[in-house]
Amino acid sequence: MAKALAVSDSNFDQEVLKSDTPVLVDFWAEWCGPCRIIGPVVEELAGEYDGKAKITKLNVDENPQISMKYGIRSIPSLLIFKNGEVVDQIVGAVPKNVLKKQLDAQI
């Protein structure tokens, strides 16, 4: 089963901005409780959307440049990119069906 891809300051352009498919980026950190709640949901989505959308995770503590570029102030923040642009943003731990609805709108 597909897993969420870890992205970083160094591979963000290649993996997210240049992707042929929509990309969900989960901005998270180890110390964040709500991030741990939504983490397994993000992993499930990676399997369900394999081939249709790219599901990724970016650790904000290890990758401050990208986090600052997109104005990430609270986590978890989930941004959906399409053709290199942010098309949707979800802040906080939301139910899986909400994430699926937002993703489906971009596919």
Residues with catalytic annotation?
32, 35
Residue 13 contacts residue 69 (beta carbons within 8 Å):
no
Q: At 73, which helix (H) or strand (E)?
A: none
Residue 83 contacts residue 23 (beta carbons within 8 Å):
no
